Structures are given as structure tokens and as C-alpha cells.
Amino acid sequence: MPFYLIFLLLPETVSNVPVGTCKIYCPLPIRHQYYQPGDHIIAGIISQAYIFSDPMTFNQHPSHNLLDEIGFVTQIYQHILAFVFAITEINANPQILPNISLGFHIYNSQFGASWTYLASLELLSTWSNFFPNYKCDSKDDTIAVIGGPNSDVNFFMATLLSFYKVPQLGYGSSPLINDPSQQAFLQWMFPSRNQQYVGILQLLLLFKWTWIGVIFMEDDNSLWFVQNELPKFSKGGICFDFIEQFPPLYLKTGIHEMIESWVLVYRLAINSMASVVFIHGEFHIVIFMRMFPRISEIEDIPMKRGKVWMMTAQMEFASVSFQRFWDLDILHGSLAFATQSKELVGFQNFLRMRNPNMETGDGFIKDFWKQAFDCSFPTSSEEENAWNRCSGEEKLEALPRSVFDMSITPHSYSVYNAVYAVAHAMQSITSLKFRQRTTSEKGRKNPVLWQYYQPGHLSISGIISQVFTFSNPVTYNQHPSHNLLGEIGFVTQIYQHTLAFVFAVMEINENPHILPNTSLGFHIYNSHFLPSGTLLASLELLSTWNNFIPNYKCDTKDNAMAVIGGPDSDVGFFMATILSIYKVPQFTYGSAPVINDPSQSVFSLRMFPSREHQYLGIQQLLLLFRWIWVGVIFIDDENGLRFVHTILPKFSKNGICFDFIETLPTLYFASGVDEMVNKWIRIYKIISDSTANVVLIHGEIHTMIFLRMFPRVSEFENLPIKTKSKVWIMTAQMEFTSVPFLKDFEVDIIHGALLVALHSTDVMGFQTFLKRRNPNEENGDGFIKDFWQQAFNCHFSSSREDKMEENVCTGEEKVETLPGSVFETTMTSHSYSLYTAVYTMAHALQSMDSSQFDSRMTAQIKRRNSITKEPWQESPSSLCNDLCHLGHQRMKKEGNPFCCYDCLPCPAGEISSQMDMDSCTPCPEDHYPNNYQDRCIPKDVSFLSYGEPLGISLTTLAAFFSCTTALVLWMFLKYKETPIVKANNRNLTYALIISLLLSFFCPLLFIGQPEQVKCLLRQITFGIIFSVAVSCILAKTLIVVLAFMATRPGSRIRKWVGKPLAQSVVFSCSLTQVTICAVWLATFPPFPDVDMHSLAEEIVLECNEGSATMFYCVLGFMGFLAMISFTMAFLGRKLPDNFNEAKFITFSMMVFCSVWLSFIPTYLSTKGKYVVAVEVFSILASSAGLLGCIFPPKCYIILFRPELNDRQYLMRKK
């Protein structure tokens, strides 16, 4: 349904009703409101300043119960200025709302639910009396409310304003509003988080950050993120070292518990092994992150600067005044998703023109000025001489970006768009003649505290958490501003949201093409970062100025077209609770609240990007850097719980483990400060002691304030600073915010933080608009003076004596001189969302005016310049343990998350070629692992070749012995007629020598690459030849023994002695061996084979013997013959004969048997080509033994003792 159709549900808003007759009464100026009259008013409820007070009781006007101590988030002041700038543009544009002026009324929701309710209720009340529904002043002209930057602002704003059907636009985090009756009136001007989550997951996976920590705020958005998005991260391979809940913002009574929680979260993040910490929070979460270094000092927690902090787009850089001079080391390395925004023409000039002495309607500017420029406005003549007196001439452009950004931020741009959305919606309404009643300009003489009002024909309201109030709970029985104490905490950064609102309205009014003849006004309320503040602002939208009676309208609130709330999700949620009843369109420019009621969600439009994409982006970021061991801190709200229960399981499924998941302490009032501080300390200790180097924080825009307090907590608790090496990952809701007392705090703790930043562009003219802010001239801005005082650390003089002081605010202080931690002059993502929300409303009105639906404003999305990684930059690691190196595999540790494991070397034969492999992979059979087992190397082909030294040596030996054997044969043939040759059977001797000669040739069949013929012949040839040789020796010994036995009288052996016996022995033995070999060849013959497994690094080419049984049968038969020969030789060794060879044969058989008995174990234990070498050596050794033991004595006699080789000599010797 087009958003401008929401306004069709509000006929009373544009009907022709006569102006009420009740007397308009304007009380004394109320701080932290910004009012500008107009025909129609756009209200704003923006969390701008923290107030350190007791809880509100809602029994009187809140301003009467506020303490003076405030923490002004100077950066958020740009949101207000964007609001004002948009109104100014719209009023100056005759094309949008011609003849209609838009006014505004901006309230500060104090970053609290109670203050958001308070601002919402004040929208529904008359100025002097806090009676919602009773309206008889200019608040009848409120046409919409813009809330932010936190989702709480939108949530609590919707809670009240939805009852009155007030259109609400949220420019920060979108609240989780489940009630359809509230959602119907709430429009988010901030992009959806879902895309952020997708981007975060992709980023984690890109950098292989699979071991991260998560910190999330204790709100509905964060819980939704944990419950719905983190499981997606887990599915993507992200593991979480810890998932910790960030302590929410407490007030006075809970400060101690909150600090303890901070300390625990900080300890957990610092001590975590995860180098990446994802922070899911709101706009102000950066303020608390900047406290981490202080906590580390107080608690004696060592700082660790190696952490990468990832943040969502809601988390803009925000700070409070006391953090002004704190260093930003902790944020170095932060990754923040950015929301689209563009530089607005004229915005910077608008900022430059701000002057606290001229902005009579700006209730924020003086507090902003004082805290941004660290000055004070004189209240007496003595104060005028103070050295730090605010002159009003200070330049906003001189402020550092940590104090105030001159470029429009995404939140301010969302505010700007929200104002324009209301203006264009009104333009459409006026053109369709829905506006039938005359509107009267009812100006306000004095600024309202933490409201910003500008009248107009149509009004857009804003409910923005801008100022913290540390007061008692609001009682809702009188105007909330009457019950606020003076002690406030102005979040100066959020003031930019208000200014973005104003700037958007200003642009729309100045643009003749959007709402011609119609002026947009606005009314921005401060929801004080409390549900009660949001509800109060929502109810005030429905009330008359003098009386807080919702539904009773007799002033300009009848013209309220929509409400823009933020930056916390609570603002949108509680705003929708009330305004959806009245069908008021609502925009949320910060964290989107969890609104389950369709009756509420239908009126609510989120101007902030969906968290889903943030969560996915954070998950990808963790996986990219392999930050899989993380801690999580989240705010205890619906968003935080949804984050824990939905998102963190997704993280786990993607391989991210959590060391801790802690809840940040919620925002307490004065009575709960101690409890809050204790929780801070506890969280700080958890983060510090965690092994995860990455802490994911899921919070709201004010969460940064508490992060910045961590270093102080560490000082108070004597904890070592360990968070400087932590990587803080934060969601887009968590802009860098701070309160005044953080102004001088270092920002070391957020060095290394990664913030998911939303897209925003520099709005032309926005920085000029900021620079022109002057607390002395902004009459309708109830925020500007508190902003001025806290931003510039000055005070406005109330008497001549005050003017003598040195820190008197002059109004001449320059916003551009503020550091970025106090106020950003560049439009932040929240401000851009708010800016967009205003424009969305304006274009919706324009569309209704022209009846052309296609004329609605379309945003030109421009991607920010990509950052190129420099050579000197190094991505930090975030893992439960170091990655398994190449050559190792993971082994899960029992009882630990799957991201925690041991690294074991790969088994033999296996490799791991990638880091952190689950298991090693075996090499192919023809490859083997290298020494590091990280790659496979091809195996070398191995066989005993003629070219290698061993082959040459064996071949040389074989040739030498062959020649020697041939020489012996030649000698015996030459001297064949001599007695020594004839003795012992000459034919057997020839057969023995020839078989030995052939046996020396057998090794030639073993050397060289195995082939089929060689494999078939070598064992068979060797077996048969050796059997012949041994058979000849057996026959020789047998003949000698039998010859001497035959000489005995009566011996029958004589007939067996002779040549036939020797031939029979040789033939039968040889035939037996031939038979064995034939059976071998017939059954399972040898064949060429490849041995892949014997040697790891070689492929051995060998001859497979086929049947090992037959092989050992051949060897066994030769051994059998050798043993018989040895036995027979041993028996005949002493027989009388001059040429008895028995003793030589005995010795040769001993050598032969020794060689082959040694051969068997050696053969079995040797691998590769050396098996062949062993067999060749055994053949040569045994053959050489036979040759050397039997024939040398005979050759010696033949050659050197021929006289012994004579028959006559032998006869004489006998």
C-alpha cells in the first residue's frame, strides 16, 4: 500500500474544522525541544541527550524533574538539523506545498522508553497541561511524527501514537512492532537490516573470519538478530566464541550494575580468541564502545588493538561531550555498514549558519553548543568573563567529526527523507482537496525543552531519542516536561538527526515542485531513550499544548500528517503503540522495532535498512577473515532477543562459534545506576577474559556511549585493559554517539571496530545549514541550547554575572569545529534516514496532490567508494585456535564448539593441500607426499639397471667370474690328459665348469628393466643351471665315496661305480629341477609387475615370481642337493687319495649353503630393486664359492707344480 494512503485514514487531520477556542498558553521555554510554527506540524522524537536522573513518575511535566547533568550526543544533533533543514527546504519550495507552511516540533526522547512515551504523550497534550487528547493549541496541526535514531524511540512512540493514528516515520533502527495496528502508522525511513546481515555474512566469509564474537543490545531487534540471523551465520560456517548481551543504558540508580556489565563484556571481548567482534546495536552504542579503553584502565584490563569491530548501519559514530578528547584507538579497524545518503545542497551552509544566540526555537542548540564546543553560556555578568564562554560565533565546521559531522550522515539523511515523505504526502492530500479546514498559524513564543517546533500548513512530528534524563519514572499525570530534572545527558551526535529533520522540512518548503502553496511544519520531540519518553511524546502529539489530554485537539496538532521516530527501535515501537490507534503514519529512521501487531505495523514505515542484510554481511565478514570464534553482546530488547534466537543460530550453522553471548544492561533510571554499572563491569570482565578477539555488539544508537565507558570501568575496578586488540563488530544502528562526560574520554577501545554503515550521501546545503545553527536565533529549537552547552562545554548566561564567566556560550561557536565524536557535520546514516523520511512524507503528500503515483521521490543509490587494501594493512585473525597448517588435519575437541579443534599431522601417504582441512587426502598410487605433506610428488620408476653403480658393479663381477671360469675351462681342456684332470671323472669336471660359467651369466637376466621373456627365464634358468652344478658336485663326491667302499672285500658296490652312475645322478637331479620349473611355468609363471607400495617414493618395476611356493621349491631342491653333497663330501674328506676333492667340496658346500641360508631372510626383508641385487649377489657369491673352493688347487698344480701332475710321481708316492 502506498505510504501516502495512510493519510487517507486521517480525515480529521485535513478536514475543515474551526480553530479551537481555548486559550493557547505558552509556558516557560522547555529544554530539548525544537519548535517552529507552521500551518502543519511535523513532530520529531529524537534521542539526542542522556539525562542522568531518577526514573520519571509521569505525575507532572517532565522538565520540572530533570537534573542539569545531561549527556548530549552531539552527532545526533545533525539529525535534528536535517529535520529542520528538510522543513526549511520544503517551505522554500513552492512546488511541494504551495501556500502551506510546514512547522516542526522536535522532542528529545533521552534514549529511554519512558522519555519516548513522554515525548509521544506531549505530542498529544496542550503546552501547559499534560493531558493527552485535550488539545487547544498549535499541536493540532501535527501531521506526522519522525522518531529516531534508536528503534526504541520508534517502538515506544508507536505504542502511543498508533492509538491516535498519527503517522510516524522512523529514521533510525526500525523497531520490531508485531501489532498491525501500530505498524500501519509507522514508516521506516532507514533501510532494512536484512540486507546488512547478508552483507555482514558475506564479508565474514570473504575474509575467512569464521571465529567471531557477537555483542548485541538487550532490545527486540538484537534478540531477533540473535534468534533469527545468527543461525544463518552458523549455517554459513561462522562460529561464535561468545554471544554477549550489551548492557543497556541505565540511569542513575543502575549505573554501577551497567558498568559491571560493561566490564564483563569488555573482558569477554578482549580475552576472546576471536579477532572479529560483531556488534549489533543502536546508534548510541559507539558511545559505550568508546568507554572500553577507560574500563580497561579502571579494571586493569590490558588493551588489545588487534580486534576488528563490525557494526551495522544503525551504529553511527556518536559520542557525548566527556568523550570529546578520548582517542579512537578502539575503533581503528572497525567495519561499519553505511546507509545510503547523499550530500544535500545547502545543508552544510545551513549547519554553518546555526547560532545558539539566534535559534530561539531550538531547545537543543545551546546544550549542543556547550558540549560540542566545551563552553558555557553566561547567566550573569560574572559568567560573561569566563574563559570558556560560548559566544555563538563558534564554527560547527571547526568541530572534529567525532563531535559533529558537517556532512550529512545516513541517519540525518533518513530524517531529511522522512520530512520530505510527509511533505509529499501532504502535497498529494492538498491536491486531492482533502484539506478542507483552514489552518491557522499558531507560533510559539518560547522553545520547549527538547522539542523542536516549526509551524506549517501541514506538520510532520518527530520523536527522536536525543537527550538522556536521569530522573524518576514519568507518571503520565501531567505534561512530561514538568517532571524532568535538570540532570541530562545530551547525545550531541543525535542532534544531527534533528537537524536533518529540520533541514529536510526546510528544503521541502523551499522547493516549489514538491508541495506548492503548502508549507510543512514540524514538531520534534525527545523520547529520552526510554519507552516512557516515547509514549509521552506520542501522547503529546495527540494533545493540546496547554493540556495533556490526548484526543482533545484545538491547536496545530490537527495538521500533523506523520511522525518520524528514532533512532532507537524502542522509539518506533512505543510510538506505534499509541499513534497506530489514531492511524498516524509513522516513519522510523533508526533501528526497526519488532512490531508483531499488524494493526500497528501497517502505519509504520521503516526508513532504516533491514537488519537481515546487516546480519548476512556480518556473517560473511566473519567468514571472510575466518573470525569464527567470537563473543556476542546484545541489548536486552526484542531486536536483541530476535538477533540471538534467530540470527546467531544461522551464524553457528555457517561455522561461527561463540565464546560468550552476553546481554547489555538495559537503561535504568537513577535508582538503577549501581546495578547497571555492575552489569557493565561483568560484561567488561567477560570480554577481557574471552579468548575471542572479535566481539559482535548488537545494540542501539546509544550503545556506543556505554562502550566508551569501558576504559573508565577498568580504572574503577582495577581491571587490565585488554580490549584494544579486540575487533568490535557493530550493527548499523550503532552510530558513534557520546554524552558530555565522555567528551574527553579516549576512543582507544573502539579502534579496530567494524561498524556496518548504512548508505548516506552528503546532502547539498546540509553542512551550511549546520554551520548556520545558532542557539540565540533558533526560537523553536528546544534542543539546540542543551546541545550547544554540552557540545561546546559552555553554558548560556542567565544574568550579567554569568556573562563574566569564561565558558559562557555566545552562540557564535562553530559546529564545524566540534570533533566528530561530539558532532558530525557530515550527514550520518541515521540523519540521512530521517532526512529521507521527511522527504518521503513530502513526496507522498505531493503524490496525493497531483494524483500521480509515479511522481513519488525515488532515491538514487550511490555506493561509497570502495576501500582498496593497502600493502601495509593486514587482516586480523579471529579463530578459536590457529588454522591447521598444510600437512595437518582437524581433530574436534570433545566438549568444545565445532570451531575449536586440534591439528594433527596427516597419516603417512596422505596430504592436506589447503589450510584448515577437515581430513587429509591420500595421494594417487603413482605419487607420494613431500616432507611437509602438503602436495603429492610423482614417484620415480626404479629397477636394477646397467647404468647405475650397483648394476655396473654386479655386471662387472659377473663378467670377471665368467672370464675366470672360461680360463679354468680352457686350462682343463688344454691339460685334459694330465692325471689331475683325469682324476675324479673328467666329464663331470667339464660339466661343473660349464654350469658355473652359465651361472655367472644368469645375473644378466636379472639386471635391466623387467620384461616378459626375462621374467620367465631368469628364475628357471638360474634354478636349472645351479641344479646341474650341484648335481655334478654330488656325483663327484658320491663316486669318490663309493670307489673307496668298493675296494673292501666282498663289497657289492663295485658294480655301481663308474661313469653310468655319475651320469644318472646328474641327469636325475637335473630332470627333477626341470620338472619343478615346468610345473611352475605351467601353473603360475613369473610375470612383469609394478610395485607401488613397498617404497613410498618409488615405483619398483619387478618380476613377480608368480607362485612363491614354486620359487621356494626350486631353492629348496637346490638346498637339498647341496646338503647331500656336503654330507657325502664330509664323509669322504679323509679317504686316501692324492687327488681327493672331498675336503674342497666340503668347504665349497659350506660356502654355498651359508650364502643361500643368508639369502632367504635378506630377500624377505629387502624392498625395491635391492631384492634383485640380493639375489644376483647370492648367485655370484655361491657360484664364486664353488669355483674358488674346488678349482684353484688343481690350477695351481697344473701351472706351478707340474712335477706333481705326473703319473710316476703319483706311483712312487703310493
Looking at the structure, tell me whether residues 1074 and 1085 fall in a common domain. Answer: yes
> What confidence tier does 1135 reach under pLDDT thresholds 50, 70, 90?
low
| Cβ pair 105, 34 in contact under 8 A | yes
1054 in a structural domain = yes
Cα separation, 705 vs 741, whole angstroms: 10
Task: Identify the CA nearest to 458 among candidates 499, 548, 518.
Answer: 518
Model confidence at 375: pLDDT above 90: no
Convert the pLDDT of each residue in 143-198 to its tens digit.
888 887 777 777 777 887 788 788 887 777 777 777 887 777 888 777 777 788 88
Quick one: 77 and 206 in the same domain?
no
Q: How confident is the model at residue 1140 (pLDDT cuts 50, 70, 90)?
A: low
For residue 11, the model assigns a pLDDT of 33
- Confidence (pLDDT) at 937: 92
CA nearest to 522, candidates 601, 464, 591, 608? 464
Contact 352, 814 (CB under 8 A): yes
**Mind listing the pLDDT tens digit for each residue in 99-133?**
888 888 888 777 767 777 777 777 777 655 666 66
Is 385's pLDDT higher than 70? no
Q: Do 467 and 110 form a contact (C-beta atoms < 8 A)?
A: yes
pLDDT at 1043: 65
Assess contact for 242 and 627: CB atoms under 8 A: no
pLDDT on residue 872 = 47
**Cβ atoms within 10 A of the Cβ of 382, count?**
17
Query: What's the full length of the chain, in residues?
Result: 1214
- For residues 950-974, give the mean pLDDT: 90
Identify the pLDDT of residue 889. Answer: 92
User: Rounded to whole angstroms, how far apart are CA atoms 96 and 1005?
Assistant: 105
- Comparison of pLDDT for 847 and 859, the residue scoring more: 847
The secondary element (H helix, E strand) that includes residue 110 is strand 102-112
Tell me if 725 is assigned to some domain.
yes
Residue 1187 lies in a domain: yes
| Number of domains composing the chain | 5
User: Contact 815/356 with Cβ under 8 angstroms?
Assistant: no
Write out the H or E segment, with its range, that includes residue 885: none
In the chain, the percentage of residues whose pLDDT exceeds 90 is 4
Looking at residue 13, what is its pLDDT? 37
Phi, psi of 530 (to 5 degrees): -130, 145
Say if residue 923 is in the same domain as residue 1035: no
**Contact between residue 602 and residue 501 where contact means Cβ atoms under 8 Å apart:** no
Distance, CA of 471 to CA of 909 (rounded, Å): 72
C-alpha dihedral, 589 to 701 to 499 to 319, nearest 10°? -170
CB-CB contact of 54 with 670 (8 Å): yes
Question: What separation in angstroms does the CA of 115 have from each of 57, 140, 189, 698?
Answer: 11, 21, 21, 22
One domain, residues 909 and 972: no
Of 249, 301, 305, 311, the closest CA to residue 275 belongs to 305
Using alpha carbons, select from 1073, 1037, 1024, 490 the residue that is nearest to residue 740: 490
Could you list the residue range(s) of the whole structural domain that residue 173 is in? 33-55+66-190+345-376+394-417
Residues with Cβ within 8 Å of residue 802, at least 6 apart in sequence: 377, 378, 379, 380, 381, 382, 383, 384, 795, 796, 808
Confidence of residue 1211 (pLDDT cuts 50, 70, 90): low
Average pLDDT score over the chain = 76
Neighbour count for residue 441 (Cβ, 10 Å): 17
| Spatial CB neighbours of 878, under 8 Å, sequence gap ≥ 6 | 209, 210, 211, 212, 213, 241, 273, 274, 275, 276, 308, 622, 625, 626, 627, 628, 629, 630, 692, 693, 694, 727
Note whether 245 and 301 are same-domain residues: yes
Say whether both 241 and 293 belong to one domain: yes
Examine the domain organization and report whether 984 and 908 are in the same domain.
no
pLDDT for 482? 46
Q: Does 441 score more than 60 pLDDT?
A: no
Burial class (CB in 10 A: 0-12, 13-18, 19+), 894: exposed
Report the alpha-carbon distance of residue 255 to residue 713 in Å, rounded: 11
Residue 843 domain flag: no
Asked whether residue 852 is assigned to any structural domain, the reply reads: no
User: Contact at 8 Å (CB) between 826 and 754?
Assistant: no
Q: Exposure pattern of 761-773 as b/e (b: 16+ CB <10 Å)?
A: bbbbbbbbbbbbb
- What CATH number is attached to the domain comprising 687? 3.40.50.2300
Question: Which range is least confidently modeled, 784-793, 887-896, 1091-1100, 1186-1195?
Answer: 784-793
Residue 964 pLDDT exceeds 60: yes
Place of cell 618395476: 1101
Residues 995 and 1099 in one domain: yes
Please report which residue ranges of 975-1107 form alpha helices under DSSP H.
979-982, 986-1001, 1003-1006, 1012-1046, 1059-1083
> What separation, in Å, do the N-terminal and C-terminal C-alpha atoms of the chain show?
139
Q: Are 184 and 204 contained in the same domain?
A: no
* 14, part of any domain: no
CA distance 741 to 321: 5
Q: How confident is the model at residue 447 (pLDDT cuts 50, 70, 90)?
A: very low
pLDDT tens digits, residue range 934-957? Answer: 999 999 998 888 889 998 999 999
Out of 488-497, 671-680, 913-922, least confident range: 671-680
Residue 777 falls inside a structural domain: no
Give the C-alpha separation, 988 to 1063, whole Å.
8
Residue 517: name the closest of 562, 561, 457 by CA: 457
More confident residue, 1 or 260: 260
If one compares 660 and 373, the residue with the highest pLDDT of the two is 660
Per-residue pLDDT tens digits for 851-905 = 544 433 333 333 333 445 454 456 666 777 788 889 999 988 888 777 788 899 9
- Predicted confidence at residue 26, as pLDDT, reads 34
3-state SS track over 783-824: CHHHHHHHHECCECCCCCEHHHCCCEEEEEEEECCCCECEEE
- Please report whether residue 491 resides in a domain: no
State the pLDDT at residue 800: 58
Tell me the per-residue pLDDT of 2-53, one tens digit each, with 9 for 90 and over.
443 334 333 333 333 333 333 333 333 345 777 888 888 888 888 777 665 5
Query: Does the structure show a pLDDT above 50 at 443?
Result: no
Q: Are residues 1051 and 979 in the same domain?
A: yes
CA separation for the pair 564, 920 (Å, rounded) = 58
Q: What pTM did the predictor assign?
A: 0.45
How far is it, in rounded angstroms, from Cα 658 to Cα 239? Answer: 6
1080 vs 574: CA distance, rounded Å? 97
pLDDT at position 257, please? 74
Query: pLDDT value at position 858?
Result: 38
User: DSSP assignment of 448-515, as one string?
Assistant: PTTBEEE-BSEEEEEEEB-EEE--PPEEESS-GGGS-EE-EEE-EEEEHHHHHHHHHHHHHHH-TTTB
Is the pLDDT assigned to residue 66 strictly greater than 60?
Answer: no
d(CA 245, CA 697): 8
CATH number for position 1069: 1.20.1070.10
Average pLDDT estimate for 250-269: 71
Domain boundary among 942, 967, 983: 942
One domain for residues 99 and 221: no
Grid cell for residue 1139:
687327488
CA nearest neighbour of 1075 among 1029, 1030, 1024: 1024
Residue 428 has pLDDT above 80, yes or no: no
pLDDT, mean of residues 713-736: 72
Is there a contact between 351 and 81 (Cβ–Cβ < 8 Å)? yes
Residues 124 and 261 in one domain: no
505 contacts 86 by C-beta, under 8 angstroms:
yes
What pLDDT was estimated at residue 130? 61
What is the C-alpha to C-alpha distance for residues 73 and 1109, in angstroms, rounded to an integer? 94
Q: Residues 527-577: pLDDT tens digits? A: 777 777 777 777 777 776 555 666 655 554 456 788 888 777 777 788 788
